Structure 1
Amino acid sequence: MKRRQIIAFLGTAFASLLLAVCSPLIVPSAVTAQSNVNLLVSAAASLKDALEEIKPLYQQSKPNVNINYNFGASGALQQQIEQGAPADIFISAGKKQVDALEQKGLLVPGTRSVLAKNRLVLVIPRNKTGITSLFNLQKPEIKRIAIGEPRSVPAGQYAQQVLQKLKIWPQVTGKLVYANNVRQVLAAVESGNADAGLVYATDAKISDKVKVVVAADEKYHSPIIYPLAVLKSSKNANAAKEFTQFLTSPPAKAVLKKYGFILS
């Protein structure tokens, strides 16, 4: 009888020991599943308001994913990425910048897509009159015209294309004030530091200090598209892919539409 009791005791002790040893192996996996993931999205400045609003929507279902943004001119962001700056996702306001990264093998294959489209518009301060077309920019009373720096800002590249196609580039070149991103162009017109500016329709939509004179004819410039892709340098590629997929979901699309982006 005593022998049976001893065997039973040893069996129970062994089972308890086994549970104690195995439990630590099980718990960390649960902790790992709940650990925070940080994603850095380098995105065109014109996307700022929309992406900021999309962020909490995503985190409702993915509370462990921290989304951080680096907004700026697409060309400047492209250069940062090429020089090794950390980023998980790149969203450009032009095809050229993403093409350059793809050619250098810096994108995760199969992750490139087009997020949205936009329009280029001529804006003036809300209280200003006398400008009804792009051709009016040649008027002597128009002293300063703000556009993005064409070498690094897609909105500036599109603006240059339009002004050249309309054959008024030589007449307005001396009036041009170059900005580091499209939001700076908008700010210049809002403050009255520029008599007019060329920005995206989405930028004009968020401001009550400017008014739209006219939208540039799309045949005068390259298509205004927003390509996105996951970067090979990402340490959280799977999480980055999931976020890019969410950007095409109905909740995210609703936000983009709200801000005036064109969705295909």
Structure 2
Amino acid sequence: MKLFITSLCFWLSWASPALYARPLTVFAASSLTNAMNEVAAAYQKESNTKVISSYAASSALARQIASGAPADIYIAANHRWMDYLSEQRSVNNASIKPLLQNSLALIASNFTGTQPVTLKSLPSKLNNDYLAIADPDHVPAGIYTKQALQSLQLWESLKLKLARGQNVRSTLLLVERGETPYGIVYRTDAIQSQHSRIISLIPESLHQPISYPIALVANHQPEALQLYNFLFSPQARAIFTRYGFIMSEEIKADAQ
């Protein structure tokens, strides 16, 4: 019996700590779903540390973190909700950095005809239909979209013709299902869609830069720092780029 206990203690002391480590939890904007799943899988393979990713609107995730939801890393789709968590002292301010950039695209459902459409022609093209956008009151993709439409002086003529999605993924789904003929989503979501097509990219000059800041949550596990650093690695950058994301200028400078 003593020999068994001694052997067990030796095995436990020798076994990899990763076997007992709590999974690392990442809260990320829904537009990062596919790319982040692949990045997390690559990190798990390299580190033997499980990563659990939760995706939703940046606003919803920020409120959950502020309410004490267990998370280690937060990636938002704009600075508004990162600033909110910073003010709440819910993230490590020193760890806040720009990670990625994105752009907007006007898309059409595959159920919609191929007649020429532009942003400026949308009010006359919609007739009794609606334009799908993410909720402009709190979802980053919707906030950027509203800015673009306001810049083109289209907001007033379109604001009553909007189908609002809870996040950018649900917005894309409205178009893919043919529930709305047109929508505005992130370019990265549009290029992955099998049931919609890109009509045009929206000039970045029409809205604030679409930036994805990242931060360690205030009560993160120590092991989260390794994953945080991995997200800036060449391996992770290659995955993000393949999904259409743009490297932030700061990352580009570090890579040179």
- TM-score using structure 2 length: 0.88
Matched letter for residue 135 of structure 1:
K
Alignment pair present for 1:244 and 2:239 = no
* Alignment-derived partner of residue 135 in structure 1: 120
The correspondence for 1:230, drawn from 210, 213, 216, is 216
Residues 163-198 of structure 1, C-alpha deviations (whole Å, 9 max, x = no match) = 111101111111101110000111111111011111
Which residue is equivalent to 1:196?
A: 182
Distance 1:151 1:242 in 2: 35
| 8 Å CA contact retained: 1:131, 1:137 | no
Letter in 2 for 1:42: F
Alpha-carbon distance change, 88 to 100 in structure 1, aligned in 2, over 3 angstroms: same
- After superposition, the C-alpha distances for 1:20-72 in whole angstroms (9 at most, x for unaligned) are 99998876543463423311111000000001111221112211x11011100
The equivalent of 1:184 in structure 2 is 170
Q: Secondary structure at the match of 2:115?
A: coil
Structure number with bigger Rg: 1
Alignment map for 1:149-168 (pairs within 5 Å): 149-168=135-154
Match of 1:13 in 2: none
Equivalent runs, 1:23-102 vs 2, <5 Å:
28-31=12-15, 33-34=17-18, 35-63=20-48, 65-102=49-86
CA distance in 1, matches of 2:155, 2:207: 14
Checking the alignment, whether the CA contact within 8 Å between 1:111 and 1:241 is kept in structure 2 is no
Cα pair distance change 1:86/1:131, threshold 3 Å: farther
- Distance in 2 (alpha carbons) for counterparts of 1:246 and 1:179: 32
* Corresponding position of 2:244: 260
- Of residues 128, 133, 155 in structure 2, which corresponds to 1:147? 133
> Which one-letter code corresponds to 1:99 in the other structure?
D
CA contact 2:149–2:155 (8 Å) conserved in 1: yes
CA distance in 2, matches of 1:209, 1:153: 23
CA shift in 2, pair 1:81/1:132, >3 Å: same
Q: How many residues align?
A: 244
Q: Hey, what does 1:209 align to over in structure 2?
A: 195
Whether the 8 Å contact between 2:117 and 2:125 is mirrored in structure 1 is no
Distance 2:243 2:104 in 1: 14
Structure 1 residues without counterparts, runs of 5 or longer: 1-19
Maintained 8 Å contact 1:115/1:227: yes
* 1-structure distance, mates of 2:76, 2:118: 28
Moved segments of 4+, more than 3 Å: 20-32
Letter in 2 for 1:244: Y
- Cα RMSD of the aligned pairs, angstroms, is 2.2
What letter is aligned with 2:117?
T
Q: What is the alpha-carbon distance in structure 2 between the residues aligned to residue 168 and residue 117 of structure 1?
A: 25
TM-score by length of 1: 0.86
Which residue identity does 2:120 align to in structure 1?
A: F
Counterpart of 1:175 in structure 2: which amino acid?
K
Letter in 2 for 1:181: N
Measure the CA separation in 2 of the matches of 1:224 and 1:199: 12
Consecutive unaligned residues of structure 2, counting only runs of 5 or more, are: 249-256
Deviation at 1:151, TM superposition (A): 2.1
